[in-house]
Structure 1
Amino acid sequence: MFMVLPNAVEHMKIIEKETIDAILKYDKLIEALRQIFQSTFTMPVRHHHFYQNAEGTENTLILMPSWTDNYIGIKQVVVAPDNHTKQLPAIHALYTLLDAVTGQPLAQMDAAGLTSRRTACTSALAASYLAREDAKTLLIVGGGKVAQHLLQAHSAVRHYNQVFIWTRNSSKGAALVSDLQKAGFNHVTYVDNLKEAVGQADVISCATLSHEPLIQGEWIKAGTHLDLIGSHTPKTREVDDIAIMKSSIFVDSRSGALHETGELAIPIATGILDPDSIKGDIKELCCGEIKGRSSSTEITLFKSAGLAIEDLAAALLVYQSVV
């Protein structure tokens, strides 16, 4: 599905968020991600630029290119962690799709919603290899844009009969629970005791901008799968050293997750984690080059830093649906 160009493109298409949301169904996007990880592609290390804005807060500018023989995609992202004080999303992004043969721009699309959905679906894709087949309880930590998609994405690969939501802002968490219940997910409840929820969960999916660990390793039961999304700088992390030491660790890519995220960079720097102990990456899982979960008691951990090729998979799914 990724190799066929349209016969002719008269003008670059501008694709709005509403169209993207309508096209990117969770099961279809998970399969598109699986297919592109099984294909041949090029993905340079993304560019990170940290800058201090006019208010004295450090924001992050990220440039993420990737390409196949026929398509080039470039995402431009700004992560502004203080945007919640302005009732704005923390992430704003644009995506540009080009013909790799001619360089002709094919489409530009809002990438904030695209990013949230592909992030959640990549986590679910990893969980399809790493979560226990009989996982029944899902804990979602966080209430932001990515967290809003986690239940739907994870439910595409496992059947949960109990879902907990925990957020530092209880009103935000309650609002997310209400929205999910209105969408038909009646088995979702808000919890205010994170320790108890962690102890009950089979899968824990964290999507926060926390600077300090929220999840303590001593709370985690045998057989749990940890899905860590939020940490995107070398200074931030969502779980502590004990969780890292107890887990079999998988990443979206070694080049990104080991260096760009405090989740792994901090324990590597302190000698807690040996980089050579990382079990594998998402491409190796999808291609069957490595084994995922090895037992029902193993604690698995997937650290997602976000990959440009994931954006290209999502953008192509959108673009090829509208041309």
Structure 2
Amino acid sequence: MLLITAEQVHEICRYPDLVNALEESHKQAPADLKDMLMTSVQPEPEPDNHMLIRAAWSHGNALGLKTAAVFPGNRTRSTLPVIHAAYTLFDGRTGVPSATIDGTSLTYYKTAGDSALGGKLLARKGISRMAMIGAGAMAPHLIRAHCEIQETIREVVIWNRTESKAQELAESLKISSVSIRATDDLEFAVRQAELLSSATMTTDPIIRGEWLSDGTHLDLIGAFTIDMREADDDAIRRARVFVDSRKTTIGEIGEITIPIETGVMSESDVLADLYQLCSGTAKGRDSDNEITLFKNGGGGHLDLMTAQFIFKSVQKST
């Protein structure tokens, strides 16, 4: 069994290659891949902490299990990441363990690759301005992923509740031909963006639909529980809505579930997921003027797809 470290994951994962692999993996029927999620919430005195257990099984191919500890308080009381995780990959024919992979780095690349694939399929061609809402551990990965897939991006604006963290990220992140700066004006960041990526821990919406410009692609990552949202009802009403997986978002994540429950949208207003978009059974963007909203819900299937990409890449290099 291979032990694949965070350093190896960072070396292997180039976003164009990873996004292509994720796109190919989504061409299989979703029925061929079982995806399960169990969430354990830590009781008082730290109810915000979560242990997430995600499992997926690709029939006759591979299966895997990720255990992740989500501790939001790490943002303020230490320099540690919010998420720590470990991933175990098994052979789908024999059940033999194939690899243990650093799950934290895998999660970064899986999440950013998921969003970048959504952007590849749904964002307008030739966009030049991106906004990043949130400056946590995911933010640099999302910025890099989108910039490597949307090669025409020339400007990135970062907003964070704590402005100094946005400034630190802007100063530390270097991408060729891309200007990166911080702003303390959330409305400005949203209004000027052609691609808006949001990865925050907010439970109440902070992105207002009235701020969105025509043609914007909205990439929502942060909400991962049933009571979390980053965008308000107006954003849902104005946008054509897509998700990475119907199974792991509808009824599971507040970003989509709350608007359905309150009558803002219906389940049929979720126009397609990545399985449908990648297989060509559903259309993505219809025009340059429409707003597209992509909910990145994650899910064990994406962990498994990313783990297989990493494992196969290590095998080729040895």
TM-score range (shorter-chain normalised) is: over 0.9
Tell me the equivalent position of 1:4. none
CA-to-aligned-CA distance 1:102-134 (integer Å, 9 cap, x gap)? 211111111111111111111110111111012
- Secondary structure, counterpart of 1:279 in structure 2: strand
One-letter amino acid of the counterpart of residue 98, structure 1:
F
2:196 to 177, 191, 204: 204
Is the CA contact (8 Å cut-off) linking 2:36 and 2:56 kept in structure 1?
A: no
2:252 paired residue among 251, 260, 263? 260
Aligned to 1:164: 157
**1:75 partnered with 2:85:** no
Are residue 63 (structure 1) and residue 56 (structure 2) matched?
no
Aligned-pair distance for 1:61? 2.0
Q: Which runs of 4+ in 1 moved over 3 A?
A: 183-186
Residue 98, structure 1, aligned to residue 90, structure 2: yes
Q: Does 1:175 align with 2:149?
A: no
* Distance in 1 between residues matched to 2:89 and 2:103, nearest whole Å: 11
Three-state SS of the structure 1 residue aligned to 2:135 is: coil
**2:143 aligned residue:** 151
- Paired with 1:261 and 1:52, the residues of 2 have a C-alpha distance of 20
Question: Is the 8 Å Cα contact of residues 143 and 176 (structure 1) preserved in structure 2?
Answer: yes
- Which residues in structure 2 correspond to 1:105-144 (within 5 Å)? 105-144=97-136
> Counterpart of 1:197 in structure 2: which amino acid?
A
Q: Cα deviation per residue 1:44-75 (whole Å; 9 max; x = unaligned)? A: 3322222226x332322222222221211111
Structure 1 residue identity aligned to 2:273 = D
Deviation at 1:215, TM superposition (A): 0.7
Contact 1:24–1:314 (8 Å) recurs in 2: no
Give the residue type in structure 2 aligned to 1:17. Answer: A
What do the CA deviations read for 1:69-99 (whole angstroms, capped 9, x no partner)?
Answer: 1211111112222221232211111100111
* Structure 2 match to 1:8: none
After TM superposition, the structure 1 stretch with the greater mean CA deviation from structure 2, 305-314 or 219-228, is: 305-314
Q: Is the 8 A contact 1:166 1:173 kept in 2?
A: yes
Question: Residue 251 of structure 2: SS of its match in structure 1?
Answer: helix
The percentage of counterpart residues that share the same residue type is 38
**Cα deviation 1:194-234 (Å, max 9, x = unaligned):** 10121111110001111111111111111111000000111
Structure 1 residues without counterparts, runs of 5 or longer: 1-11
Matched, 1:28 2:20: no
Q: Show the counterpart of 2:206.
A: 214
Does the CA contact (< 8 Å) of 1:45 and 1:255 recur in 2? no
Matches of 1:147 and 1:43, distance apart in 2: 29
Tell me if 1:189 matches 2:181: yes
Tell me which of 13, 37, 44 is aligned to 1:46: 37
Residue identity opposite 1:162 in structure 2: E
Superposed counterparts of 1:264-303, under 5 Å: 264-303=256-295
Deviation of 1:313 (Å): 1.9
- Inter-partner Cα distance in structure 1 for 2:49 and 2:314: 34
Q: Secondary structure at the match of 1:155?
A: helix
Q: Which moved more, 1:37-46 or 1:232-241?
A: 37-46
Q: What secondary structure does 2:84 align onto?
A: strand
Q: Supply the AA of the counterpart residue of 2:153.
A: Y
What letter corresponds to residue 116 of structure 1 in structure 2? Answer: Y
Letter in 1 for 2:90: L
Post-superposition offset of 1:39 = 2.7
Secondary structure of the 1:160 match is: coil
- Match runs of 1:232-271 below 5 Å: 232-271=224-263
Which one is further off, 151-160 or 224-233? 151-160
CA distance in structure 1 between the aligned counterparts of 2:173 and 2:35, rounded to whole angstroms: 37
CA distance in structure 2 between the aligned counterparts of 1:141 and 1:171, rounded to whole angstroms: 14
| Distance across 1 between alignment mates of 2:105 and 2:77 | 19
Look up the match of 2:222.
Answer: 230
TM-score with structure 2 setting the length: 0.93
Q: For the Cα contact (< 8 Å) 1:138–1:160, is it kept in 2? A: yes
Which TM-score applies when normalising by structure 1? 0.92
DSSP-derived class of the 1:107 partner: strand
Q: Show CA shifts across 1:29-53 (max 9, x none).
A: 1111111111354123322222226
Alignment length (residue pairs): 310
Cα displacement string for residues 247-304 of structure 1 (whole angstroms, at most 9, x for unaligned residues)? 1000111222122221112212211111111101011111111010001111110001
Q: Using the alignment, how far apart are the partners of 1:145 and 1:118 within structure 2?
A: 13
Distance 1:185 1:210 in 2: 32
| 2:14 partner letter | K
- Unmatched 5+ residue regions in structure 2? none
